[in-house]
Amino acid sequence: MNRMLCLLGAAATAVFAQDPAQGWLGYATGKNPSGQGRITRAEAKWVVLDHPKESGCFYSPWFGIETSDNLNLFQPVNPYVGGGWEMYVEYFQWKPVHNENSASADVSPGDTLHGVVTFDESKQEYTAVHTNLRTGKSITKTIGVQKDGEKYKEYTMMYIVFEKTCRSCLQYPPNGIVTFFDIVLEYEGTKVIPAWSTAFVDDKCNNRAHVVNSTTITITWDTTN
Protein backbone atom coordinates (compact mmCIF):
# COMPACT_ATOMS: atom_id res chain seq x y z
CA MET A 1 0.00 0.00 0.00
CA ASN A 2 1.89 3.06 -1.06
CA ARG A 3 3.90 1.01 1.05
CA MET A 4 2.09 -2.20 1.92
CA LEU A 5 0.27 -4.04 -0.81
CA CYS A 6 2.81 -2.89 -3.36
CA LEU A 7 5.56 -4.42 -1.28
CA LEU A 8 3.54 -7.54 -0.64
CA GLY A 9 2.86 -7.97 -4.32
CA ALA A 10 6.51 -7.56 -5.24
CA ALA A 11 7.58 -10.03 -2.57
CA ALA A 12 5.04 -12.59 -3.73
CA THR A 13 5.77 -12.34 -7.44
CA ALA A 14 8.47 -14.99 -7.46
CA VAL A 15 6.29 -17.44 -5.54
CA PHE A 16 2.77 -17.07 -6.92
CA ALA A 17 2.77 -14.55 -9.80
CA GLN A 18 -0.98 -14.10 -9.25
CA ASP A 19 -3.64 -13.75 -6.58
CA PRO A 20 -4.41 -15.05 -3.98
CA ALA A 21 -0.92 -13.94 -2.97
CA GLN A 22 1.52 -14.73 -0.22
CA GLY A 23 0.66 -12.52 2.74
CA TRP A 24 -3.09 -13.02 2.43
CA LEU A 25 -4.55 -14.47 5.61
CA GLY A 26 -8.24 -15.38 5.74
CA TYR A 27 -10.25 -14.38 2.68
CA ALA A 28 -13.60 -14.89 0.99
CA THR A 29 -14.28 -15.06 -2.74
CA GLY A 30 -17.60 -13.96 -4.21
CA LYS A 31 -18.69 -14.94 -7.74
CA ASN A 32 -21.76 -14.89 -9.93
CA PRO A 33 -23.50 -18.27 -9.39
CA SER A 34 -24.14 -18.44 -13.15
CA GLY A 35 -20.46 -17.98 -13.91
CA GLN A 36 -21.37 -15.36 -16.51
CA GLY A 37 -20.69 -11.66 -17.01
CA ARG A 38 -18.50 -8.87 -15.72
CA ILE A 39 -18.76 -7.10 -12.41
CA THR A 40 -20.39 -3.72 -12.93
CA ARG A 41 -20.73 -2.77 -9.26
CA ALA A 42 -19.24 -4.01 -6.00
CA GLU A 43 -19.53 -2.41 -2.60
CA ALA A 44 -19.11 -3.11 1.09
CA LYS A 45 -18.95 -1.35 4.44
CA TRP A 46 -16.84 -2.08 7.50
CA VAL A 47 -15.80 -0.40 10.75
CA VAL A 48 -12.22 0.70 11.38
CA LEU A 49 -10.68 -1.52 14.05
CA ASP A 50 -9.05 -0.59 17.34
CA HIS A 51 -5.34 0.07 17.74
CA PRO A 52 -3.33 -3.08 18.52
CA LYS A 53 -1.71 -3.69 21.88
CA GLU A 54 1.69 -3.99 20.20
CA SER A 55 2.88 -1.89 17.27
CA GLY A 56 5.43 -2.68 14.61
CA CYS A 57 3.34 -4.47 11.99
CA PHE A 58 1.69 -3.34 8.75
CA TYR A 59 -1.58 -4.98 7.58
CA SER A 60 -5.03 -4.30 6.22
CA PRO A 61 -8.59 -5.53 5.88
CA TRP A 62 -9.91 -4.74 2.39
CA PHE A 63 -12.21 -5.78 -0.43
CA GLY A 64 -11.52 -5.68 -4.12
CA ILE A 65 -12.48 -6.93 -7.56
CA GLU A 66 -10.26 -9.22 -9.63
CA THR A 67 -9.98 -10.30 -13.25
CA SER A 68 -10.79 -13.87 -14.20
CA ASP A 69 -7.08 -14.69 -14.58
CA ASN A 70 -6.27 -13.39 -11.07
CA LEU A 71 -3.74 -10.88 -12.42
CA ASN A 72 -5.48 -7.52 -11.88
CA LEU A 73 -6.79 -6.33 -8.52
CA PHE A 74 -8.62 -3.05 -7.75
CA GLN A 75 -9.26 -2.47 -4.07
CA PRO A 76 -10.40 0.05 -1.45
CA VAL A 77 -7.96 -0.63 1.40
CA ASN A 78 -7.70 0.24 5.10
CA PRO A 79 -4.12 -0.31 6.32
CA TYR A 80 -2.71 0.06 9.80
CA VAL A 81 0.40 2.16 9.17
CA GLY A 82 2.78 2.86 12.02
CA GLY A 83 0.58 4.25 14.76
CA GLY A 84 -2.69 4.73 12.94
CA TRP A 85 -5.23 3.71 10.32
CA GLU A 86 -5.58 5.00 6.76
CA MET A 87 -7.85 4.53 3.77
CA TYR A 88 -7.03 4.73 0.08
CA VAL A 89 -7.57 2.88 -3.21
CA GLU A 90 -4.99 0.63 -4.83
CA TYR A 91 -4.56 -1.06 -8.20
CA PHE A 92 -2.13 -3.96 -8.54
CA GLN A 93 -1.29 -5.69 -11.80
CA TRP A 94 0.86 -8.80 -12.00
CA LYS A 95 1.75 -8.86 -15.71
CA PRO A 96 3.61 -6.68 -16.32
CA VAL A 97 3.99 -5.79 -12.64
CA HIS A 98 2.47 -2.39 -11.98
CA ASN A 99 1.12 -0.74 -8.84
CA GLU A 100 -0.58 2.59 -8.31
CA ASN A 101 -2.36 4.18 -5.38
CA SER A 102 -4.69 7.07 -4.75
CA ALA A 103 -4.07 9.74 -2.16
CA SER A 104 -4.62 8.51 1.39
CA ALA A 105 -6.58 9.85 4.36
CA ASP A 106 -6.36 9.14 8.07
CA VAL A 107 -9.28 7.32 9.69
CA SER A 108 -10.06 6.53 13.32
CA PRO A 109 -11.22 3.42 15.19
CA GLY A 110 -15.01 3.22 15.03
CA ASP A 111 -15.32 5.05 11.70
CA THR A 112 -17.47 3.27 9.13
CA LEU A 113 -15.89 2.98 5.69
CA HIS A 114 -17.92 2.47 2.52
CA GLY A 115 -16.16 1.32 -0.64
CA VAL A 116 -17.97 1.35 -3.99
CA VAL A 117 -16.50 0.17 -7.31
CA THR A 118 -18.41 0.80 -10.56
CA PHE A 119 -17.80 0.02 -14.24
CA ASP A 120 -18.12 2.38 -17.22
CA GLU A 121 -18.37 0.13 -20.27
CA SER A 122 -18.13 2.99 -22.78
CA LYS A 123 -14.70 3.92 -21.41
CA GLN A 124 -13.66 0.44 -20.21
CA GLU A 125 -12.87 1.96 -16.81
CA TYR A 126 -13.56 1.13 -13.18
CA THR A 127 -13.93 3.84 -10.56
CA ALA A 128 -13.61 3.25 -6.82
CA VAL A 129 -14.98 5.70 -4.27
CA HIS A 130 -13.81 5.08 -0.70
CA THR A 131 -15.76 7.10 1.89
CA ASN A 132 -15.51 7.66 5.62
CA LEU A 133 -19.18 7.89 6.56
CA ARG A 134 -18.42 9.73 9.83
CA THR A 135 -16.43 12.58 8.28
CA GLY A 136 -17.78 12.50 4.74
CA LYS A 137 -14.24 12.37 3.36
CA SER A 138 -14.05 10.46 0.06
CA ILE A 139 -11.17 9.24 -2.08
CA THR A 140 -11.72 8.42 -5.74
CA LYS A 141 -9.56 6.55 -8.22
CA THR A 142 -10.23 5.39 -11.79
CA ILE A 143 -8.31 2.71 -13.71
CA GLY A 144 -8.53 1.45 -17.26
CA VAL A 145 -9.20 -2.21 -17.95
CA GLN A 146 -6.09 -3.99 -19.24
CA LYS A 147 -6.28 -5.75 -22.58
CA ASP A 148 -5.29 -9.37 -23.14
CA GLY A 149 -4.37 -9.33 -26.79
CA GLU A 150 -7.21 -7.56 -28.60
CA LYS A 151 -9.83 -8.16 -25.92
CA TYR A 152 -10.40 -6.33 -22.65
CA LYS A 153 -10.07 -8.46 -19.55
CA GLU A 154 -13.14 -9.08 -17.43
CA TYR A 155 -13.38 -8.53 -13.69
CA THR A 156 -15.41 -11.49 -12.47
CA MET A 157 -14.77 -12.01 -8.75
CA MET A 158 -14.88 -10.09 -5.48
CA TYR A 159 -12.35 -10.70 -2.73
CA ILE A 160 -12.71 -9.83 0.95
CA VAL A 161 -9.32 -10.16 2.62
CA PHE A 162 -7.20 -9.63 5.72
CA GLU A 163 -3.62 -9.21 4.54
CA LYS A 164 -0.13 -9.33 6.05
CA THR A 165 1.49 -11.59 8.61
CA CYS A 166 2.78 -10.21 11.90
CA ARG A 167 5.34 -11.56 14.35
CA SER A 168 2.83 -11.73 17.21
CA CYS A 169 -0.96 -12.02 17.42
CA LEU A 170 -0.86 -9.08 19.84
CA GLN A 171 0.09 -6.89 16.88
CA TYR A 172 -3.34 -7.41 15.36
CA PRO A 173 -6.37 -5.38 16.54
CA PRO A 174 -7.81 -6.65 19.85
CA ASN A 175 -11.32 -6.77 18.31
CA GLY A 176 -10.55 -10.22 16.92
CA ILE A 177 -13.13 -9.71 14.17
CA VAL A 178 -13.88 -7.41 11.25
CA THR A 179 -17.32 -7.51 9.63
CA PHE A 180 -17.93 -6.55 6.01
CA PHE A 181 -21.62 -5.79 5.65
CA ASP A 182 -24.17 -4.38 3.18
CA ILE A 183 -22.21 -6.15 0.45
CA VAL A 184 -23.52 -5.57 -3.07
CA LEU A 185 -22.32 -7.40 -6.17
CA GLU A 186 -23.74 -6.71 -9.63
CA TYR A 187 -22.96 -8.35 -12.97
CA GLU A 188 -23.90 -6.58 -16.20
CA GLY A 189 -26.07 -4.20 -14.17
CA THR A 190 -28.00 -6.91 -12.33
CA LYS A 191 -27.64 -7.55 -8.61
CA VAL A 192 -26.84 -11.16 -7.74
CA ILE A 193 -26.67 -13.28 -4.62
CA PRO A 194 -22.96 -14.14 -4.64
CA ALA A 195 -21.68 -17.68 -4.39
CA TRP A 196 -19.16 -17.35 -1.55
CA SER A 197 -16.21 -19.56 -0.66
CA THR A 198 -13.51 -19.09 1.99
CA ALA A 199 -9.86 -20.01 2.26
CA PHE A 200 -6.52 -18.74 3.53
CA VAL A 201 -2.98 -18.47 2.20
CA ASP A 202 -0.77 -17.83 5.23
CA ASP A 203 -1.90 -19.53 8.45
CA LYS A 204 -1.28 -16.94 11.15
CA CYS A 205 -3.23 -16.42 14.38
CA ASN A 206 -6.05 -18.63 13.08
CA ASN A 207 -7.15 -15.80 10.77
CA ARG A 208 -10.21 -17.10 8.92
CA ALA A 209 -13.10 -15.75 6.85
CA HIS A 210 -16.69 -16.78 7.54
CA VAL A 211 -19.84 -16.44 5.44
CA VAL A 212 -22.62 -15.07 7.68
CA ASN A 213 -25.06 -14.57 4.82
CA SER A 214 -24.99 -13.34 1.21
CA THR A 215 -24.33 -9.73 2.25
CA THR A 216 -22.13 -10.23 5.32
CA ILE A 217 -18.63 -11.68 5.65
CA THR A 218 -16.59 -11.76 8.86
CA ILE A 219 -12.89 -12.37 9.31
CA THR A 220 -11.71 -13.47 12.76
CA TRP A 221 -8.32 -14.02 14.40
CA ASP A 222 -6.70 -14.91 17.71
CA THR A 223 -5.31 -11.99 19.70
CA THR A 224 -3.67 -13.68 22.67
CA ASN A 225 -0.63 -15.57 21.46
CA–CA separation, 100 and 2 (whole Å): 8
Give the per-residue pLDDT at 14.
41
Positive or negative: CA dihedral 128, 18, 199, 49: negative
CA–CA separation, 186 and 189 (whole Å): 6
Render pLDDT for 3-30 as a digit per residue (tens, 0 to 9): 344 444 444 444 447 999 999 999 999 9
CA–CA separation, 99 and 105 (whole Å): 19
Give the per-residue pLDDT at 13.
41
Please report which confidence band the pLDDT of residue 83 belongs to, taking 50, 70 and 90 as the band edges.
confident
**Span 181-188, average pLDDT:** 98
Among the listed residues 208, 152, 176, 161, the one whose alpha carbon sits nearest the alpha carbon of residue 63: 161
Residue type, 148: D
Question: b or e along 75-85 (b: 16 or more beta carbons within 10 Å of the residue's beta carbon)?
Answer: bbbbbbbeeeb
CA–CA separation, 93 and 113 (whole Å): 24
CA–CA separation, 112 and 188 (whole Å): 28
**Span 43-60, average pLDDT:** 96
Please report which confidence band the pLDDT of residue 225 belongs to, taking 50, 70 and 90 as the band edges.
confident
The structure's pTM equals 0.93
**Span 93-107, average pLDDT:** 97
Query: How many Cβ atoms are within 10 Å of 35's Cβ, its own excluded?
Result: 10
The percent of residues in the chain predicted with pLDDT above 70, rounded, is 93
With a CB cutoff of 8 Å and minimum separation 6, the contacts of 124 are: 144, 145, 152
* pLDDT beyond 50 at 136: yes
Q: H helices of the chain, where?
A: 5-13
Q: 33 preceded by cis ω (within 30°)?
A: no
Give the per-residue pLDDT at 82.
79
Give the per-residue pLDDT at 17.
76
